[in-house]
């Protein structure tokens, strides 16, 4: 079994419950979005589960902890990674999960707190 096709358990963080298992052809990272059973979730955390077999540990499954989310319409590419919102604003968190402290739900376009980052 290839590492990128390992069974992945999808776990909702609040209320804590397993949503099920899925075979993914990509490695989910925190900040990525996952469409699962018709809903969109943000990946918050990824954990590896190992099994001791034949005298060594082998990666057995992956568990990802998610929360319900909507894909952000505004994204900016910063140093090779996507961040939510307008990265030219001084309040931008430069995060894949949260936009900023003053206007976390956005949009950045008409935000009254926008300040050009210098």
* Interatomic CA distance for residues 21 and 83, integer angstroms: 28
Task: Provide mean pLDDT across the span 43-71.
Answer: 92
pLDDT at 67: 93
Query: Per residue in 92-116, pLDDT tens?
Result: 888 877 888 888 877 888 888 888 8
pLDDT surpassing 60 at residue 3? no
Give per-residue pLDDT as tens, 60-90: 899 999 999 887 778 887 887 788 888 888 8
pLDDT at 1: 45
pLDDT confidence of residue 97 = 77
- Are 117 and 92 a contacting pair, CB within 8 Å? yes
What does the block give as tokens for 64?
Answer: 């990802």
For 4, the 3-state DSSP assignment is helix
Domain ranges of the chain: 3-68, 72-118
């Amino acid at each position: 079994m290839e590492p990128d096709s390992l069974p992945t358990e999808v776990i909702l963080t609040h209320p804590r419950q397993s949503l099920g298992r899925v075979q993914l052809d990509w490695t989910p990272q925190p900040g990525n979005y996952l469409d699962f059973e018709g809903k969109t979730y943000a990946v918050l955390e990824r954990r590896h589960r190992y099994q001791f077999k034949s005298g060594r540990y082998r990666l057995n499954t992956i568990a990802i902890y998610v929360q319900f989310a909507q894909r952000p319409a505004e994204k900016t590419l910063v140093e090779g990674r996507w961040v939510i919102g307008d990265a030219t604003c001084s309040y931008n968190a430069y995060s894949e999960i949260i936009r900023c402290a003053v206007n976390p739900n956005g949009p950045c376009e008409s935000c009254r707190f926008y300040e050009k980052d210098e």
